[in-house]
Chain A
């Protein structure tokens, strides 16, 4: 299972990449493997403000729709049109081309509540 060291993780399987005051969000390799073939991604509206824990995007496999939760609070400043056009990117490159949305970080303190790679690895066992 691929769990990059430079990311932080939510217990609901989102990953977060922090660059300055921006947080890029996607789902982990483990999550994409559990979901199996992703056939649809519903992106949030640009400019939408979300609180930590809010359902923010939806990733759908053949069998089920799964909410993607905001790992931290913030404003949606960018979404990834590539995963809308080719949802399978979430399966093939979950930490790269399969990113889903970017948040402008509202409270950097919330980042401390997320798991580091070792903690997430332990969680998924």
Chain B
């Protein structure tokens, strides 16, 4: 049993009155005041999340692009310098080890942001396949990270970093700060406009406080989970696993089968050609009901258990029960009827188009 790790922002969270919980081996804030209020702040104004637990890898060298394209499912060659993309690290069976974002920071240099729980496993897997002409470094301990999310987030950025331009959607920018450099990525996990901001670990607290002073509401992992699920963004360990491929997950948009060989490609190509046996669908209650949660049984219209929820929650935005589940492909059509079993009571649900919630346009 490894010891629990602390974010460089932990002391600040405690001063802000956060309720802390263990998550992915880290002691992190689950909420400060109320998950509902924090969720609403991100949907209507701006919230800020500590994401220092997430991992940062640097890949560089003349062989970096070719090698990353062997390791990742999406096509890194499509990235111009300053752009990023969502991608998957797959095992030989095409199963998902991790989902991540890869940014091209120079012609032959890349910045990867990976899940907290997977830092060691990702690093070991990538390092195992590392060629000589590529340098690969785990800089996770050096960086504090925070996600500033919501329609007002560009204005918050302008207040805190006057004169600095936010990069375009999915872009990355770097600029010098006292004693190091800050990295800002125009991305997030909420569906709202926003950015992820990385600074030297020891400066993280000061930056987090500046963003709060500029109007961002401190938000915990509770709201982060409800926000991402309303967007049908997968959570590794819930909706992604080493036994599920991105084709089953319906994330084919982030897989490039034409770019040349990569680990897991053969399995994915076969699945795509034949159609996967199961698909990850979005299920929404048709009426009021008890909150759906991960691992609750999913029944088909005839009452047979066919799956379980990989994630589930009562949507703070819509008040409806929402969740995702891998179901037999023939049951994956929009409108297909299911039931979700909650303590023996069955609540009717339907397959709906993803996402569950459409954010309002950015104010930027």
Residues of A that sit less than 8 Å from B by CB: 36-37, 39-40, 42, 58, 60-63, 65
Contacts and interface: CB of A to CB of B under 8 A. Distances in A.
B283 to A, nearest CB: 17
A40 B314 contact: yes
Q: What DSSP secondary structure best describes chain B's contact surface? A: mixed
B38 to A, nearest CB: 10
Nearest to B290: A40
A61 B31 CA distance: 12
B129 interface: no
A50 to B, nearest CB: 16
20 contacts: A36-B31, A37-B34, A37-B35, A39-B36, A39-B291, A39-B314, A40-B290, A40-B291, A58-B290, A58-B343, A60-B314, A61-B35, A62-B222, A62-B226, A62-B291, A62-B314, A62-B316, A63-B30, A65-B290, A65-B291
A37 B290 contact: no
Contacts of A62: 35-36, 222, 226, 291, 313-314, 316
A100 to B, nearest CB: 15
B293 A65 contact: yes
B290 A36 contact: no
Nearest to B35: A62
Contacts of A61: 35
A42 B31 contact: no
A36 B293 contact: no
Given A36-B34, A65-B290, 14 more contacts: A39-B36, A39-B291, A39-B314, A40-B290, A40-B291, A40-B314, A42-B343, A60-B314, A62-B36, A62-B222, A62-B316, A65-B291, A65-B293, A65-B343
Identify whether the interface residues of A are mostly helix, strand, loop, or mixed. Answer: strand
Interface in B107-159: none
A40 B226 CA distance: 16
A78 to B, nearest CB: 21
A42 B30 CA distance: 24
A36 B316 CA distance: 14
Contacts, number: 36
Nearest to A34: B19
Contacts of A36: 19, 31, 34-35
B297 to A, nearest CB: 15
Contacts of B313: 62
Nearest to B39: A62
A34 B314 CA distance: 19
A58 B35 CA distance: 19
Of A37, A40, A60, which is in contact with the most chain B CB atoms at under 10 Å from its CB?
A37
A42 B290 contact: yes
B222 A63 contact: yes
Contacts of B226: 62
A63 B34 CA distance: 11
Question: Which 5 pairs, one residue from A and one from B, show the smallest C-beta to C-beta distance?
Answer: A62-B35, A37-B36, A39-B314, A60-B291, A37-B34
Contacts of A42: 290, 343
A104 B216 CA distance: 50
A57 to B, nearest CB: 11
A65 B290 CA distance: 9
A122 B30 CA distance: 27
Contacts of B291: 39-40, 60, 62, 65
A60 B345 CA distance: 15
Contacts of A65: 290-291, 293, 343
A101 B293 CA distance: 25
A108 B222 CA distance: 42
Tell which of A39, A58, A60, A65 has the most Cβ of chain B within 10 Å: A39
Interface-central residue, B226, B291, B313, by most chain A CB under 10 Å: B291
A63 B35 CA distance: 9
Nearest to A64: B293
Most chain B CB atoms below 10 A, which of A40, A60, A62: A62
Contacts of B35: 36-37, 61-63
Contacts of A37: 34-36
Interface in B186-226: 222, 226
A40 B343 CA distance: 14
A72 B19 CA distance: 32
A110 B57 CA distance: 61
B282 to A, nearest CB: 19
A112 B291 CA distance: 36
A111 to B, nearest CB: 29
Nearest to A85: B288
